[in-house]
Amino acid sequence: MLAVVVNGFGGPERVELAEVPVPRPAAGQVRIRVRAAGLNPVDGAVRAGVFGGAGQRLGLGWEAAGEIDEVGADVTGHSRGDRVVGLHHGAVKALGTHAEYAVLDASAVVAAPTAVDAVAAAGLPLAGLTAARAVDLLGLAPGASVLVTGAAGVVGGLAVQLAARAGLVVTALAGAGDEALVRSLGAAGFVPRGAAPAGPVDGVLDTAVLGESALGFVRDGGVYVGVIPGAAPAAERGIRVEEQEVAADGEHLARLVALVDAGELTLRVAETVPLAEASKAHERLAAAGVRGRIILTA
């Protein structure tokens, strides 16, 4: 089968399409015939060597949509032919989901949304679970104010929707041209990038990784939630500082799928790129202004 790999660290030019053996599922796993797979910033970080793995051939891809092709031993609740989405957690791995077939833990795989196609569904697992975990960590009651930085991005846009659905009063921080977009996702207020909110907020969900400057927008005793482990600023003024770390959580993913099917969670696709042109997709990933997930199709 064909799979996207890197054999050395660097830019998009290090991305290769390789012929590799079709993987087999072990006990507790399923094999998916991948139809679509999201390309995420973490894939660019793997390619650049942020997570190590020098001297190894590394596979790329954390999320996929497709059909179950083979079921390993001790798996219940999944059958061959089921349409599914799932998260393949882990940065350093021999094969990821950017391939014609991928093996995932059965507990990380759930029935695919019926309201959208595989291309749209492929962008849900990583960004959706990241945003949902971050909103949960805010721990704010309905009516509290929250600022979402990077609100026009994929994770930020999902966070705006989930926070608004939780009854929070959301202000979105994004580019000046993104106001209509973020308001359509549920933001009650808008702050253009480079400006500050009119007053302190109860919480900040910092998908743009602004760090200390975003912490400065939080009221004394409020909460700051970061989306990248190890990147949060030091706590001050009684502010609770949290960092979400995504996990392959099938139960939570199933709840997000239900929201998609109910029309309560919008998934945005920027463009689709054939698996064979993965290096071009990585070039696009590095460009500014991408609004929605880049999806590789196999």
Q: What is the pLDDT of residue 273?
A: 97
Instruction: For residue 8, count other CB atoms closer than 10 A to its CB.
Output: 14
Residue 161, pLDDT > 90, answer yes
- Answer whether residue 239 shows pLDDT above 90: yes
Residue 29, both tokens? 């796993």
Residue 87, SS3?
Answer: strand
Report if residue 239 sits inside a domain.
yes
Alpha-carbon span 268 to 157, nearest angstrom: 9
Residue 90 lies in a domain: yes
Say whether both 71 and 169 belong to one domain.
no
Q: What is the pLDDT of residues 121-140, one digit of tens each?
A: 999 999 999 999 999 999 99
Domain at 150, CATH number: 3.40.50.720
**pLDDT value of residue 279:** 96
Sheet holding 58-59, edge to edge: 15-19, 2-6, 58-59
- Distance set, CA 163 to CA 131, 134, 135, 203 (Å): 9, 9, 6, 11
Average pLDDT over residues 137-159: 98
d(CA 145, CA 10): 41
Phi, psi at 259, each rounded to 5°: -65, -40
Whether 59 and 110 share a structural domain: yes
107 and 176 fall within a common domain? no
* 268-292 tens-digit pLDDT: 999 999 999 999 999 999 887 788 9
At 38-60, the pLDDT tens digits run: 999 999 999 999 999 998 999 99
- Are residues 107 and 27 part of one domain? yes
Residue 290 confidence (pLDDT): 83
Q: Do 6 and 120 sit in the same domain of this protein?
A: yes
Tell me if 66 is assigned to some domain: yes
Q: Are residues 116 and 226 in the same domain?
A: no
pLDDT on residue 288 = 72
Q: Which of 114, 193, 124, 198 is nearest to 161 (CA)?
A: 124
DSSP label at 262? T
Tell me how far apart the alpha carbons of residues 28 and 7 are, in angstroms, rounded to a whole number: 29
One domain for residues 171 and 70:
no
Is residue 287 assigned to a domain? Answer: yes
Q: Residue 215: in which H helix or E strand, if any?
A: helix 212-215
**120 and 6: one domain?**
yes
pLDDT tens per residue across span 208-238:
999 999 999 999 999 999 999 999 999 999 9
d(CA 169, CA 146): 6
Q: Is residue 248 part of a domain?
A: no
Asked if the structure places residue 32 within a domain, the reply is yes
Identify the domain containing residue 221 by its residue range. Answer: 127-243
Coil, strand or helix: which one is 24? coil
Could you tell me which residues are beta bridge partners of residue 68? 32
Same domain, 50 and 12: yes
- pLDDT score for 17: 96
Q: Are residues 114 and 173 in the same domain?
A: no
Residues 50 and 157 in one domain: no
pLDDT at 166: 98
Q: What is the DSSP secondary-structure string of 152-196?
A: TSHHHHHHHHHHHHTT-EEEEEE-GGGHHHHHHTT-SEEEETT--
In a domain, 107, yes or no: yes
* CA torsion through residues 161, 283, 44, 234, sign: negative
Separation CA 49–CA 263 (nearest Å):
38
Identify whether 261 is part of a domain.
Answer: no
Domain tally for the chain? 2
Residues 191 and 212 reside in one and the same domain: yes
Between CA 162 and CA 16 the distance in angstroms is: 36
Q: In this predicted structure, what is the pLDDT of residue 286?
A: 84
Residue 25: CATH number of its domain: 3.90.180.10
Q: pLDDT per residue over 11-24, tens digit each? A: 999 999 999 999 99
